[in-house]
Amino acid sequence: MKLKFKKEPRFAELWDACLYNLLYDTKKYVNEILKLFKKNKISKKSKIIDVSVGTGFPALELTKKGYKIDCMDSMQDEINVFSRKAKKKKLNLRCKKLTWLQIPKHYKKNYYDFSFCRGNSFIYAAGGWNKSQKVDAKKSLKLYEETLKIFYDLLKDGGLLYIDKFKDSEKPHKTKVVEIQIKDKKYDLIFYNEIKNKLNIRSSAMLLRDKTGKEIGLPNITYLLSKKELMNMLRKVGFSSIKEMSFKSEKHFDIILAKK
């Protein structure tokens, strides 16, 4: 397979192309979400929010099916792709540009039945998305907990948070995943991942490598958050039931469903 672009893609456009062409079978993933909704009595009347909607996967697909989803994200790059796709799908859907710490000023407490924070987004609650940073474990854990309390407050009693993260078993790697053609130039797309266990740091990047071997990409650097730490923090901020979930169509991240 080869992914083709007419002009140099922004990071969010590359991520979006990977989501739909490499990482997910969208139909299967959306069907598994619909089953999860049905099991938990989430209907088209339910109040749903995606707090890291990115380029709109799968919020746009669910909105097209009639679900009402409030959308937010902190990055203009992603929001631009989201808005373009929403327009193309003839959906009157806007994405608020906010960080999670700004949520209390913009959304009501005890309001939502269901919240998504998917795509390994949560680990960036202490920064490091698309930029380098010096990772401070104590500061990261404090911000993670603060953010989870904000997510908790958004939900009604009985409301559900879908949150995911990279697998604890993830190994460092640098792998060519697909060929990319931009105008008449060919590149390899590389998924790169580095884990520094002793320092508790995880770095990841999508790199475009040209034929001379030059690589360009944006860094993503965070604390190496474990599933156990995340589950303990979810409990600490008040969630009453915290369960791991497995989706056949989700091969990349571990999913946790937490109930207020």
Ligand X SMILES: C[S@@+](CC[C@H](N)C(=O)[O-])C[C@H]1O[C@@H](n2cnc3c(N)ncnc32)[C@H](O)[C@@H]1O
Summarize as ranges the residues that interact with ligand X (CB under 6 A): 19, 52-54, 57, 73-75, 78, 99-100, 118-121, 124-125, 129
3-class SS of residue 54:
coil
The distance of closest approach from Cβ of residue 213 to ligand X in the complex, given in angstroms and rounded to an integer, is 27
Decide whether 75 or 148 has the Cβ nearer to ligand X. 75
φ/ψ (deg, to 5) at 211: -70, -15
The distance of closest approach from Cβ of residue 120 to ligand X in the complex, given in angstroms and rounded to an integer, is 5
Decide whether 58 or 159 has the Cβ nearer to ligand X. 58
Spatial CB neighbours of 231, under 8 Å, sequence gap ≥ 6: 242, 256
The distance of closest approach from Cβ of residue 142 to ligand X in the complex, given in angstroms and rounded to an integer, is 14
Decide whether 21 or 210 has the Cβ nearer to ligand X. 21
Decide whether 102 or 185 has the Cβ nearer to ligand X. 102
3-class SS of residue 236:
helix
The CA distances from residue 143 to 26, 40, 101, 116, 197, in Å, are 32, 29, 9, 18, 21
Count of residues for the chain? 260
> Within a 13 Å sphere around the CA of 165, how many CA atoms are in the beta-carbon half?
21
User: Of 51, 247, 50, which is closest to residue 59 (Cα–Cα)?
Assistant: 50
Decide whether 119 or 159 has the Cβ nearer to ligand X. 119
The CA distances from residue 191 to 15, 113, 178, 185, 246, in Å, are 11, 35, 10, 19, 23
The distance of closest approach from Cβ of residue 216 to ligand X in the complex, given in angstroms and rounded to an integer, is 18
The distance of closest approach from Cβ of residue 205 to ligand X in the complex, given in angstroms and rounded to an integer, is 12
Decide whether 182 or 255 has the Cβ nearer to ligand X. 255
The distance of closest approach from Cβ of residue 91 to ligand X in the complex, given in angstroms and rounded to an integer, is 17
256: its two tokens:
């946790």
